[in-house]
Chain A
Amino acid sequence: MWLFLFTELILFGGLFVVYAVYRFLHQAEFELAAKELDTLIGTINTMVLLTSSLTVALSLTAIQRGKPKLSLLLVGITIALALVFLVNKYFEWSHKFSVGLYPQSPELLNKPPGEILYFGLYFVMTGLHALHVIIGAVILAVMMRLIARGVITKDSYVKLEAGALYWHLVDIIWIFLFPLFYLIQ
């Protein structure tokens, strides 16, 4: 599992390098473009993801202590929080689309090159991250089923541990995406 997480690190790491270079080259335009983002939604989503990381970590402790029902509940809360995150993301993106900000939109192409790059990176990086949130939620749903069927137990919880690790990675990536896109005005 960790080896896979390292490959994920390189995938997102590469994008962060691209971000760093373009931001270095177009500093002022990046800061201007970032004003379009809603810091409040970003902050709420950060807190939602951090809390979901807590609940999935707690679910592992619960199963280790032989409390499958509590564990099930905690994974359920994690998935619910993932859905909250995605709903927020949906509203955020649809607002962007409604003001004409989407890849290749005429509105966007009229902006200076730095802002086009900023929004390109914004859509690619948060989009790829949202995809990871969806995959993570599906994985956790499978884990819930395995807990309910008694496959994941007090003595055999590696599957849940791997699912939780993936979820934490998704959280860590967001921890870095959040200040880099939302907090640079």
Chain B
Amino acid sequence: MTEHLQEHGQETHSIGYGRYALIWVGLMGLTGATVALAGIQLGRWVIITALTIASIKGLLVLNIFMHMRFEDKVFRLFTLVAGVVLMIFLVLTFFDYAFR
């Protein structure tokens, strides 16, 4: 019975083994993709594609492995704020350096 409840993951937000494995396959695939893409001369797009793939991987780990998807709204908002603050640091720093 408890096994059955947890299968649906409502109470403990326990995620099945299969789903984790699937995410892992995705992460490995993205790693392969980012290495393969780095071999191609894409000029200034190199950094953009690399960071986009890294962000997707980071979000997969955060949302599934770290269960962020199943946390409540307020808490997810806090995490978002932490991420946004970091982005503000980066962007403001570049306003300084890019226009010197």
Contact = CB atoms under 8 A, between A and B. Distances in A.
B10 to A, nearest CB: 13
Interface in B78-94: 78-79, 82-83, 85-86, 89-90, 93-94
Interface string A79-118: 0000000000000000000000000000000000000000
A64 B58 contact: no
A183 B35 contact: yes
- B contact patch SS: helix
A47 B28 contact: yes
How big is chain A's contact interface, by range?
35 or more
A61 B16 contact: yes
B31 to A, nearest CB: 5
Contacts of B14: 60-61, 64-65
A13 B65 CA distance: 21
B20 A58 contact: yes
Interface string B13-30: 011110011011001100
A20 B82 contact: no
Given A6-B82, A47-B28, A183-B50, A168 B17 contact: no
Contacts of A43: 31, 35
A176 B54 contact: yes
Contacts of A2: 75, 78-79
Contact of A65 (B6, B54, B93): B6
B62 to A, nearest CB: 7
A179 B54 contact: yes
A175 to B, nearest CB: 5
6 contacts: A53-B65, A61-B14, A61-B17, A165-B66, A179-B38, A179-B51
Interface of A: 2, 6, 9-10, 13-14, 16-17, 20-21, 24-25, 39, 43, 46-47, 50-51, 53-54, 57-58, 60-61, 64-66, 164-165, 168, 171-172, 175-176, 178-180, 183-185
